[in-house]
């Protein structure tokens, strides 16, 4: 079974400027990566990615590669991606879930929150494998923090999900707690492969970022924003019934117009990966 979130039902009361800037920055950096040769890109990963053994002071990079302080790679790594699918997956989750988290705390707090989630993700992965000299890249650690915050802010929000079961395709509605809960559960299930050196996904960065987001959101949200809110009770709840394409098309149009800065009715401001 495979499922992919498409959009949620939580409009915001303001344009998520910082979320858009992060998204644009990641795309621009990826376009820059496309201009590099394979050797140049690998060099950039070594220069700007998190290398656990270097970050923790167990090894030193050659002077030609040490272009930023070791601690700064936690942040520079968040704008690099290992391929189009890596970028696309991260940006999809950022696009769907970040606007409501930013709305719950405001742009300045959101910048700090996102950065700290990246720190939590990077340190978690580095401490799990402190001797590794493989660069860790990707925005998924910070985005995992956003998902951790969202599940505490809007656990009952409805998320339209693309689901593939063998050859059967469905668009259904699921609660955010289930969509994001399945995602983080998958990270825990797959994490042993990371410990044994299998795969190219930094699962512990995702876990660390997610937990960091859950821990930080009570301190970063606005005072009037409630945790575990029953969002938009007037809207239909989740259902396993397939969603007609015409309905999905209209909902997507309305939702993405709002995210793109179109007209949005005022709403009460509650709560509205490394590789992988």
Q: Which of 42-46, 61-65, 127-131, 267-271 has the lowest mean pLDDT?
A: 267-271
Percent of the chain with pLDDT over 70: 78
262 three-class SS: coil
Q: What is the per-residue burial (b if ≥16 Cβ within 10 Å, else e) of 260-274?
A: eeeeeeeeebbbbbb
How would DSSP label each residue in 39-108? HHHHHHHHHHSB-HHHHTTSS---TTT--S-GGGHHHHGGG--SSHHHHHHHHHHHHHHHHHHHHHH-HH
Q: How far is CA 150 from CA 31, 145, 161, in A?
A: 29, 9, 16
What is the structure's pLDDT at 230? 65
What is the structure's pLDDT at 234? 46
Q: Is the pLDDT score of 138 beyond 90?
A: yes
- pLDDT per position as a tens digit, 143-198: 999 999 999 999 999 888 877 666 667 777 788 999 999 999 999 998 887 666 55
Q: How far is CA 72 from CA 75, 76, 119, in A?
A: 6, 6, 10
Average pLDDT over residues 75-101: 95
Element at 254 (helix H, strand E): helix 245-259
Average pLDDT over residues 31-41: 95
**CA 187, CA 183: separation in Å to the nearest integer?**
7
Q: For residues 148 and 212, is the Cβ–Cβ distance under 8 A?
A: yes
pLDDT band, very low/low/confident/very high, at 255 (cuts 50, 70, 90): low
What is the structure's pLDDT at 91? 96
What is the structure's pLDDT at 199? 55
Beta bridge partners of 166: none
Average pLDDT over residues 98-103: 95
Q: Is the pLDDT score of 231 beyond 60?
A: no
List the CATH code of the domain at 9-155+181-221: 1.20.1540.10
- pLDDT per position as a tens digit, 256-274: 565 554 443 333 332 223 3
What is the structure's pLDDT at 64? 86
Q: Which of 49-53, 70-74, 184-188, 189-193 has the lowest mean pLDDT?
A: 189-193
pTM for the full model?
0.84
* More confident: 198 or 83: 83
Average pLDDT value for the chain: 84
Q: For residues 190 and 199, is the Cβ–Cβ distance under 8 A?
A: yes
Q: Is the pLDDT score of 1 beyond 90?
A: no
How distant is the alpha carbon of residue 185 from its chain centre?
15
């Amino acid at each position: 079974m495979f499922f992919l979130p498409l959009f949620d039902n939580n409009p915001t009361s303001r344009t998520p400027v910082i979320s858009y800037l992060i998204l644009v920055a990641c795309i621009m950096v990826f376009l820059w990566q496309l201009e590099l040769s394979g050797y140049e890109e690998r060099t950039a990963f070594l220069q700007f990615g998190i290398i656990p053994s270097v970050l923790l002071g167990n090894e030193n990079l050659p002077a030609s590669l040490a272009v930023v302080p070791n601690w700064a790679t936690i942040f520079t790594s968040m704008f690099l991606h290992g391929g189009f699918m890596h970028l696309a997956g991260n940006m999809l989750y950022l696009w769907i879930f970040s606007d409501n988290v930013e709305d719950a705390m405001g742009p300045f707090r959101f910048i700090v929150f996102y950065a700290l989630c990246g720190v939590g993700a990077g340190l978690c992965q580095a401490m799990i494998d402190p001797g590794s000299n493989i660069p860790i890249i990707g925005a998924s650690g910070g985005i995992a923090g956003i998902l951790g915050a969202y599940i505490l802010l809007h656990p009952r929000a409805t998320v339209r999900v693309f689901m593939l079961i063998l050859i059967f395709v469905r668009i259904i509605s699921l609660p955010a707690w289930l969509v994001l809960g399945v995602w983080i559960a998958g990270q825990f299930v797959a994490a042993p492969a990371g410990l044994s050196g299998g795969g190219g996904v930094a699962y512990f960065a995702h876990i660390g970022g997610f937990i960091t987001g859950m821990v930080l959101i009570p301190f970063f949200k606005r005072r009037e924003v409630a945790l575990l809110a029953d969002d938009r009770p007037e809207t239909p709840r989740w259902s396993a019934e397939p969603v007609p394409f015409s309905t999905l098309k209209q909902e997507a149009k309305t939702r993405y117009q709002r995210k793109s800065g179109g007209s949005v009715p005022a709403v009460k401001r509650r709560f509205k990966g490394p590789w992988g």
